[in-house]
Amino acid sequence: MTSVSTNPGGRSAPSTEGRFARIWRRNGAGYLFLLPWLVGFLGLTLGPTLASLYLSFTDYDLLTSPRWSGLKNYEYAAFYDRRLGKAIEVTFTYVLWSVPLKLTVALLLAMVLDRSVRGVAFYRATFYLPSLLGASVAIAVLWRQLFGADGLINQLLFFVTGIQGPAWITHPDYALSTLIVLAIWQFGSPMIIFLAGLRQVPQDLYEAASMDGASGWRQFWKITLPLLAPVIFFNLVLQTIEAFKAFTQAYIVSGGLGGPVDSTMFYSLYLYLEAFANFRMGYASALAWILLVIIAIFTAIAFGTSKYWVYYEDEQR
């Protein structure tokens, strides 16, 4: 039974205990369903995030207690760590090449699959398969074998042209290119999203354009791309973030060292080596927060420029 208290003005109000009981009776089941997620969020996401922020200001080697060092880790990363500069250069090159090429391949294949062809469901599943397996250790190992000195790529190259190809994985001029090709091969996820977007484009626009004599190329530029701009923007942001976080491929292909000559030293791989090979967990935490800031800047630039090229159907211009 809800207890009632009387205030000086003579009006009665429910007690605090009664209010909580009423809220629990109304929403208790919902809170119980949320409890597993809430425990996971606090214990596995928010807690480690705050701990990482604190450790980024300390000198911590995993074996002794953290010692407060202020901005020393950030100062070292900004002015003295030359290998970090190389890791940023490699990562930026990877992002700037892999993301546009992957989205282009995904869009072209989505347009092909948008046509009414027999067995389209089978083709969709087949093309999506690399996205499920592409980031796995098994595919990275397979990629290492394909592009090795005696791998299948060089055997095909010699069979067709008579030219003996280089050891793509162990040559500093080609190692990063093989990882970019691997990233492009994982086009399945953005392709499915493009395909869903293409299904939303009104067909009567194409019919009207055809009656006016517009060519297929003009219909693509004037109808498909503008109406698909929100989907392109979504895929661009998502794939850019994923590219910045790329780790498994570089770790497996380079044997965990980022070689040869740091040509595959991705940012995330360098962060991992600082944390678990050099036992500089404080510095690695600072690197993680720097990466967060870099991704936030790229995302902010994408959102800031979206008003110039992303068109929404219900938007008034």
133 versus 281: the higher-pLDDT residue is: 281
The residue-averaged pLDDT of 110-123 equals 78
159-181 residue pLDDT tens: 888 888 888 888 889 999 999 99
Cβ(186)–Cβ(109) under 8 Å?
Answer: no
Give the type of residue at 86: K
How many CB atoms are closer than 10 A to CB 14? 14
- Quote the percentage of the chain above a pLDDT of 70: 90
CA distance linking residue 235 with residue 257, whole number of Å? 30
Contacts of 10 (CB under 8 A, 6+ apart): none
How many CB atoms are closer than 10 A to CB 166? 13
Residue 248 pLDDT level (bands cut at 50, 70, 90): confident
Cβ(135)–Cβ(248) under 8 Å?
Answer: yes
Long-range contacts of 209-218 (CB under 8 A, 24+ apart): none
**Conformational region of residue 256, where left means phi above 0, alpha means psi within -120 to 50, and beta covers everything else:** left
pLDDT at position 3 = 46
Write the DSSP string, 120-169: HHHHHHHHHHHHHHTTSHHHHHHHHHHTSTTSHHHHHHHHHH------TT
Name beta bridge partners: 58.
Answer: 68
